[in-house]
């Protein structure tokens, strides 16, 4: 019913939207870059549909209207706290689904419904259930880059530990806990392209699969095949808007070119696209941040992810932490481009450091964990302490220990 309502509504606004776009293009003197972002009346309508679905799922879970509305209010408060009591002004629409954050599934979908159910249980103190939304999974040690910030530096280009059957087994085990997202990382996961296809073909449906990549050999043909097999989106590492500086950071003379081609191939095949930036001390200026997000808008991506450098992996023992003034600049940038109406056609900014400082870390089994290239579980990619083996140990029992003990903090 909700999907039918959305379809009717969008037919009604498509003519108006196309006319406004043509007029804007004419006024600017060129054809504007394709943007996946929606705002205004369109976004408000989709938001109402989302919350109607959330209310329905609460009714189905509690089978009691009073408890359902109480739960809905808890979820709304959690969402508001997460954003610093600010109203989001835009969503990304890709391939008929709507995304309000990089770390939640698109709406409407089976994965979105499971994500809501997970959060209903998390918010209910009486539920006592272990739920997990996302695993970030390093599936390969192989990589041809020499990235300055690589957190898996000490494991790179050693013999592989995990067979593709092991990777599938780990994902399947976590799916039994209701995960809604798998983010495949590395190394460079495209070095195991055939295994990624195997995973997509064999995992239980209803879980979104994302790919972290440098863009290396992410061609149109590969993008089309991965999309057909069920890939949701890609996160492309781009650490500077200046091609030569990104190439230097990545240790490859054509790194920027591969990243740009990967974005174009992903968009051509209706994959959601996120750019991931390691915001170093050398990079963080107002000018660089603005130029970066302008490039992201030009490329038509849905999200920009900001990561703070940590002294692990290739950065171990180095003074890489950014200053308090630079942290404030990042937070101001996050707030400005997400919650100012001037920037509704710009990508959504995802900033884990902001969330961690204001509402607590989502790692440590609270919302996600990191599984490394040996199949061992960590609180997150930067808290490099192996907690247990996802292949050999009881996952649910150990996740309960993780959530009890909490995530280590830098």
Locate the domains of the chain by residue range: 2-119, 134-405
Average pLDDT estimate for 269-277 = 98
Q: What pTM was computed for the model?
A: 0.91
Distance, in Å, from the CA atom of 57 to the CA atom of 60, rounded to the nearest integer, reads 5
The single-letter DSSP state of residue 364 is: T
Using one digit for the tens of pLDDT, what is the confidence trace for 175-216?
999 999 999 998 999 999 999 999 999 999 999 999 999 998
Residue 30 is predicted with a pLDDT of 38
* Sequential DSSP letters for 36-105: -EEEHHHHHHHHHHHHHHHHHHHHHHH--HHHHHHHHHHHHHHHHHHTTS----EEEEETTEEESSTTS-
What kind and span of H or E run contains 276? strand 272-278
pLDDT at 217 over 50: yes
Distance, in Å, from the CA atom of 235 to the CA atom of 303, rounded to the nearest integer, reads 9
Strands 376-378 and 233-237: unpaired
Which pLDDT band holds residue 10 (cuts at 50, 70, 90)?
low
Using one digit for the tens of pLDDT, what is the confidence trace for 106-117?
999 999 999 999
CATH of domain 134-405: 3.20.20.70
What average pLDDT does the chain have? 90
* Integer CA distances (angstroms), 291 to 65, 278, 295, in order: 49, 15, 6
Using one digit for the tens of pLDDT, what is the confidence trace for 43-92?
999 999 999 999 999 999 999 999 999 999 999 998 888 888 898 899 99
Which pLDDT band holds residue 334 (cuts at 50, 70, 90)?
very high
């Amino acid at each position: 019913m909700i999907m039918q309502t959305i379809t009717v509504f969008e037919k009604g606004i498509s003519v108006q939207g196309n006319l406004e776009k043509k007029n804007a293009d004419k006024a600017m003197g060129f054809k504007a870059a394709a943007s996946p972002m929606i705002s205004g009346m369109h976004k408000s309508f989709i938001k109402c549909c989302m919350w109607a679905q959330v209310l329905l799922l609460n009714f189905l879970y509690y089978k009691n209207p009073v408890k359902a509305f109480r739960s809905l209010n808890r979820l709304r408060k959690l969402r508001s706290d997460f954003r610093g009591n600010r109203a989001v002004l835009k969503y990304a629409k890709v391939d008929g689904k709507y995304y309000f954050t990089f770390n939640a599934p698109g709406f409407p979908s089976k994965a979105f419904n499971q994500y809501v159910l997970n959060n209903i249980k998390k918010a209910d103190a009486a539920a006592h259930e272990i739920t997990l939304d996302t695993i970030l999974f390093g599936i390969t040690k192989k990589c041809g880059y020499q990235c300055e910030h690589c957190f898996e530096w000490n494991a790179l280009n050693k013999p592989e530990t995990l067979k593709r059957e092991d990777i599938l087994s780990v994902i399947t085990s976590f799916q039994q806990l209701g995960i809604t997202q798998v983010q495949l990382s590395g190394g460079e996961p495209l070095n195991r392209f055939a295994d990624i296809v195997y995973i997509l073909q064999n995992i239980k449906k209803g879980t979104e699969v994302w790919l972290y990549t440098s863009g290396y050999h992410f061609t149109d043909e590969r993008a089309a095949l991965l999309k057909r097999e069920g890939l949701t989106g890609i996160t492309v590492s781009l650490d500077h808007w200046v091609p030569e500086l990104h190439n230097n950071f990545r240790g490859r003379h054509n790194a920027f070119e591969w990243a740009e081609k990967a974005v174009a191939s992903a968009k051509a095949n209706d994959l959601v696209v996120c750019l991931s930036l390691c915001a170093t001390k050398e990079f963080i200026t107002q000018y660089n941040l603005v130029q970066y997000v302008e490039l992201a808008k030009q490329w038509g991506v849905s999200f920009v992810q900001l990561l703070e450098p940590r002294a692990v992996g290739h950065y171990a023992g180095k003074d890489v932490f950014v200053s308090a003034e630079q942290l404030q600049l990042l937070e101001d940038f996050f707030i400005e481009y997400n919650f100012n109406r001037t920037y509704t056609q710009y990508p959504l900014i995802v900033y884990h450091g902001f969330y961690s400082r204001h509402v607590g870390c989502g790692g440590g089994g609270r919302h996600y964990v990191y599984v490394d290239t040996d199949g061992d579980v960590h609180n997150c990619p930067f808290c490099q302490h192996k907690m247990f083996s996802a292949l050999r140990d009881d996952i649910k029992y150990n996740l309960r220990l993780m959530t009890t003990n909490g995530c280590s903090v830098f």
